[in-house]
Structure 1
Amino acid sequence: MAGRAGGATGRPPLTERRRAETRMEIAEEAVRLFAAKGVAAVTADDIASASGVSTRTLWRYFRSKEECVRPLLTTGLELLTEHLREGRGEHASLAEAILGVRYDDDATPRLRTLGDLLLLCRDEPGLRAVWLEAHYDAEATFAAMIADRTGRPVGDLAVRVEAGVLNTAMRIAVEDWALRSDAAGPSLAETVRRALRMVDAVEKR
């Protein structure tokens, strides 16, 4: 019964949700420790202890201590992908579809933690590698969605270029938002939309 109910509502099973919550809790504690001590001074044991899990459990979820932050970097992309798939066919382009996505308020603790993490990525090569890998994976997802919308092969050069431009614009927008120290500046949502409008303007020239 529980399995059927989960399928009917589109929600993942409880164990899967709990696993995702645990991964996110580990990610948030990892960022807190990295920001306080520096990546080099933090061990996997430190992160596991702060997260309330065993080190063995931590290694079951992540390949390295730096990778512990990945859920913070990918959750937004995963939610965006889910939203775009649900609204398939409602917009002329993927960029236009993304413009209609609603974002959390910048004041939410998780977005503040994401901002802290992206600041760390500037000076920590291991964290920066995880961030770039997350976007490398996202680019393949965008390419698949563009191919599905246009009927072109996923390996088509035009599909890959469009996916790359879109992905890069979003990455730079999020980094720009995180690097700003002025709290009165544009929100994450406004920054992403501004970047995507730039992409849209270039495509229409």
Structure 2
Amino acid sequence: MTAARGRPSLTERRRQETRLEIAETAAALFSDQGYDATTVEDIASAAGISLRTFYRYCAAKEDALTPVLTSGVGLLVDELATRPVDEPLTSAVQAAFDSSASARRLADPEQARRLVRIMGTVPAIRMRWLAAGRDMQDQLVPVLAARKGAPEDSMEVRLLACALIDALSVAMEHWAWQDEPEDVVELTRRALNYLRIDEL
């Protein structure tokens, strides 16, 4: 049986679930015991899979987190696409961010803060985080273009997508490194308001 149009097949959905399970296991281990102290064997054992299975899904240890880095991309874009077109963009993006964040399975705030710090300080993972941000920008472009009534190849639309992702990333990094962290929702709201994107 073929997959419905636009929907992954059952086999592909199972692969995606396995990738995300490996990623979330790796994220927990990296957060709890550090990136360098965590081995591929540790991740495979904690995930209940063989090393062979691990390497079927991940070329190297630093690739294990990729699904965690990218899982919010589609969620945020999908949520933003459902927001009313006449809703101020700041409010729409904030609501989409809040909704997509609540759908993620890494719910422990302190673990999430440690993970963001790892993503920002381990060069191999930071490269993948930056790549995930660029992917999110590319996915945001058609949604923003539709809201703005502008062509997708518009420089202004691409700049807006870049500014939005950078604002969210900076807010998350700031939250992760605070000794007494503020509410992450309030930080993202401040970051988006600072951009004054509703005036663009």
Q: TM-score range by the shorter chain?
A: 0.7 to 0.9
User: Following TM superposition, where does structure 1 have runs of at least 4 consecutive aligned residues deviating by more than 4 angstroms?
Assistant: 10-18
Cα distance, 1:125 vs structure 2: 0.7
**What RMSD, in angstroms, separates the aligned Cα atoms of the two structures?**
3.2
Matches for 1:96-107 after TM superposition, within 5 Å: 96-101=91-96, 102-103=98-99, 104=102
Counterparts in 2 of 1:197 and 1:153: CA distance versus 1, 3 Å: same
For residues 50 and 84 of structure 2, the distance between their equivalents in structure 1, rounded to whole angstroms, comes to 41
How far residue 135 of structure 1 moved from its aligned partner, in angstroms, is 0.5
Uncovered stretches (5+) of structure 1, i.e. residues with no partner? none
1:51 and 2:42 are equivalent in the alignment = no
Letter in structure 2 aligned against 1:178: A
Task: Show the counterpart of 1:69.
Answer: 65
* 2-structure distance, mates of 1:192, 1:13: 35
Uncovered stretches (5+) of structure 2, i.e. residues with no partner: none
CA 1:38/1:112 → structure 2, altered by over 3 Å: closer, same or farther?
Answer: closer
Indicate the residue corresponding to 1:82 in structure 2: 78
2:22 aligned with 1:31 = no
Aligned residues of 2:69 and 2:129 also touching (Cα < 8 A): yes
State how far apart, in whole Å, the 1-side matches of 2:13 and 2:189 are. Answer: 30
Q: Distance in 2 between matches of 1:111 and 1:23?
A: 22
Q: Letter of the 1:81 partner, please give it.
A: V
Matching residue within 140, 157, 164 for 1:142? 140
TM-score normalised per structure 2: 0.79
Deviation at 1:149, TM superposition (A): 2.4
TM-score normalized by structure 1?
A: 0.78
CA contact (8 A) 2:24 2:65 kept: yes
Note if contact 2:145-2:157 (Cα within 8 Å) is conserved in structure 1. yes
Name the residue aligned to 1:172.
170
In the aligned structure 1, how far is the partner of 2:23 from the partner of 2:109? Answer: 13
Structure 2 CA distance for aligned equivalents of residues 87 and 122 of structure 1 = 31
Q: Could you tell me how far apart the structure 2 residues matched to 1:20 and 1:193 are?
A: 31
Which residue type is aligned with residue 189 of structure 1? Answer: V
- Deviation per CA, 1:50-77, whole angstroms, max 9, x where unpaired? 1111223223333331121122222233
Name the % identity: 36
What's the counterpart of residue 38 of structure 2? 42
Could you tell me which residue of structure 2 aligns to residue 194 of structure 1? 190
